[in-house]
Amino acid sequence: MEVDIGGMKITNPVMPASGAFGEGMDRVIDFNLLGALIPKSITKYPQRGNRTPRACETKGGMINSIGIQSKGIDYYLKETIPYYEQYSIPLISSISAESIDEFVEMSSIIASVTSVAALELNISCPNLKNNGQAFGMSDDITYQLVNRVRKVTDKPILVKLTPNVTDIQSIALAAERAGADSLVVANTPLAMAIDIHTRRPKIGNIMGGLSGPAIKPIIVRQIYQVHEVSQLPIIGCGGIMTADDAIEMMLAGASAVQVGTANFVSPTAMIDIIAGIQTYMEEHQLHRIDELIGGVIVMNQREEDYI
């Protein structure tokens, strides 16, 4: 089940999605069974997050707009990282920042902590400002941002892409050219829901990110597209509820997966998914995860006919 993510070896391909995982879950599952640990994105300064309601349920999913409620980097270095040091698996720090300079500054500080195995640059949170605008919507900015961070650390850099783009391939390539080690495909699609009786948006921040099983086909498509053009290992993220979903993303081109909303529904989801992948591999007599990655069979379907 071992996978290599840009030089970081993980014992199995299942890890939590940042923001859908936290310390409270240690009461329910053994963290050491996961592939890696990713605490909620950290910001430089403490921030309160968005107004409530911050989440609402939709058919087959949920919309959230938390706005990265955060205790700031000092707390993170003093409390969060030491807490995760008790576990033996790689710790990936997810970073959110307001400018390229801030990304560079925070990456440099956090990457210098020995126990941090890799950085995830969250350039795709839809919930901060400007109608869901994110750094990861421009290939130029993505390139500059990743390139600048690349200069301050040798640790693996995972870049979490946004699905809210016209051409995810160009953004993926920009991140790759700039020196990223892995691409997380993807963050949440920007969404909205309205209460028809009160006529009010169901989310305090009006819009939010859609997650859950409803978005999986979009993400499978984007993984497939990114895998077509990029050599980097892909971490699939968006709508995985079961091992079957994870395997589907691997066949589309993902080397590993992140699990988010499923944790809320069943806190043991990640453990069940690991076991399910194992069972599938045995049934199909596969010896390595590599045999799954990008294994979708596309025949007699000329893409030119569709595009």
Partner 1 sequence: MRDYHVTVLSNKQVSNRYWHLIVDSSDLKEAIEPGQFFNIKSTDYQTYYPLLRRPFSIYRIKEDTLEFLYKAEGAGTKQLATYKPGQKISLLGPAGVSYSIPKNCKKILLLARGVGIATLAALAQKADQMNIEIYAILSARNKDDLLATKTIEKYCTKVYCVTEEDKTSDVEHVRRMIHDLIKTHHIDAAYTCGSRRLSMLLQKITKANGITSQVALEEYMACGMGVCYSCVCDIKRQGVMQTVKSCEDGPVFPLEEVIFE
Nearest approach in angstroms of CB 22 to partner 1 is 4
Sheet containing strand 190-192, strands side by side = 55-58, 61-64, 207-211, 190-192
H helices then E strands: how many in the chain? Answer: 9, 13
Nearer to partner 1, 25 or 100 (CB): 25
Using CA atoms, how far apart are residues 251 and 246, in angstroms rounded to an integer?
Answer: 9
Among candidate residues 66, 125, 223, 274, the one labeled active-site is 125
Q: What is the DSSP letter of 42?
A: B
Q: Where does residue 4 rank: exposed (0-12), middle (13-18), buried (19+ CB within 10 A)?
A: middle
Beta bridge partners of 207: 192
Is 125 one of the annotated active-site residues of the chain? yes
Nearer to partner 1, 59 or 199 (CB): 59
Nearer to partner 1, 214 or 237 (CB): 214
Nearest approach in angstroms of CB 216 to partner 1 is 10
Pick from 244, 252, 192: nearest CA to 218? 252
Nearer to partner 1, 56 or 111 (CB): 56
Element (H, E) at 14: strand 14-16
Nearer to partner 1, 34 or 292 (CB): 34
Binding site for partner 1 (CB under 8 A): 19-25, 27-28, 40, 48-49, 52-57, 59-62, 64, 66, 69, 212-214, 241, 261, 263-268
Nearest approach in angstroms of CB 133 to partner 1 is 22
Decide: helix, strand or coil at residue 111.
helix
> Residue 247 in contact with residue 280, Cβ under 8 Å?
yes
Nearest approach in angstroms of CB 63 to partner 1 is 10
Residue type at 6 in one-letter notation: G
Nearest approach in angstroms of CB 279 to partner 1 is 16
- Cite the active site residues: 125
